């Protein structure tokens, strides 16, 4: 019998590519995102090319009750989750006093609350079975404060700290928790966050979502705790731990500004 992966934010970018990778490895899928049309198209592609089972669930996971409903639906259908991929999330560029509060609350709910809820539910089940893997998608943003994206950077710092702590708690249980920390990636995220004209992104050749997804998949399968994709991203993540915080924050401010 095939194992099953639950992937949030599966309609585009890294989540979509992870769905393809899992399917090629004969893993059944539960794909979750807001866009039912995109999920349906992806499920048809995957079923036709690999023959695995695909369940599509269209929900806005920034609403906690939708997360609860999703978990209840899977429980009622006796679907066991062997791999949990908490990929759903978004960012927003701008001065904190200018950005939309409701959008930032939704960001916190999605990037933090939904991820924490699903991790709680499925980590407990995995621990009882003595097997399972969780991939929480953070960002290189997790390693330093982020002026002009203050809330987003803070949410990703939470994901990294939370996941590293749990990875330690689950030592020896048969369950592993991996945090994927990509840098800027070719995906819909940059456009949605209004980041295409920032110094961080403009004019740079970025890794593709497929490259980052494969890196994250391999890291999770190998039980790695923190996976930072790309040499320069690794250097940046490590250097920010040793340089003065005020200096690091100033550098981030400069690269977040538009050209």
> Does residue 152 have an active-site annotation?
yes
Tokens 């110094």 locate to: 199
Angle formed at CA 192 by CA 153 and CA 246, multiple of 5 degrees: 25
Residue tagged active-site, from 83, 152, 153, 158 = 152
Distance CA 32, CA 6 (A): 8
| Under 8 Å between Cβ of 122 and 84 | yes
| Under 8 Å between Cβ of 145 and 249 | yes
Q: What count of other Cβ atoms lies within 10 Å of the Cβ of residue 181?
A: 26
What is the chain's alpha carbon radius of gyration, rounded to the nearest angstrom?
18
Distance CA 92, CA 69 (A): 27
| Under 8 Å between Cβ of 227 and 164 | no
| Active site (catalytic) residues | 152
């Amino acid at each position: 019998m095939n194992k099953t992966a639950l992937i949030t934010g599966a309609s585009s970018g890294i989540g979509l590519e992870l769905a393809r990778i899992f399917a090629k490895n004969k893993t059944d899928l539960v794909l979750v995102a807001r866009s039912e049309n995109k999920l349906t198209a992806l499920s048809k592609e995957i079923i036709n090319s690999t023959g695995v089972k695909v369940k599509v669930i269209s929900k806005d996971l920034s609403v906690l009750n939708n997360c609860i409903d999703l978990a209840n639906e899977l429980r009622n259908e006796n679907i066991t989750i062997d791999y949990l991929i908490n990929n759903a999330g978004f960012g927003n560029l701008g001065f904190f006093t200018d950005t939309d509060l409701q959008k930032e609350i939704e960001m916190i709910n999605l990037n933090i609350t939904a991820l924490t809820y699903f991790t709680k539910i499925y980590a407990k089940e995995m621990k009882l079975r003595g097997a399972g893997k969780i991939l929480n998608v953070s960002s290189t943003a997790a390693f330093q404060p982020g002026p002009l994206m203050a809330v987003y950077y803070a949410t990703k710092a939470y994901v990294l700290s939370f996941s590293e702590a749990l990875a330690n708690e689950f030592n020896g249980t048969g369950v592993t928790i991996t945090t994927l920390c990509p840098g800027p990636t070719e995906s819909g995220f940059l456009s949605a966050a209004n980041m295409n004209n920032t110094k961080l992104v403009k004019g740079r050749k970025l890794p593709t979502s497929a490259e980052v997804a494969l890196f994250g998949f391999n890291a999770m399968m190998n039980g790695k705790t923190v996976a930072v994709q790309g040499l320069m991203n690794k250097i940046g993540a490590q250097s920010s731990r040793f340089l003065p915080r005020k200096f690091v924050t100033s550098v981030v401010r400069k690269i977040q500004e538009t050209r």
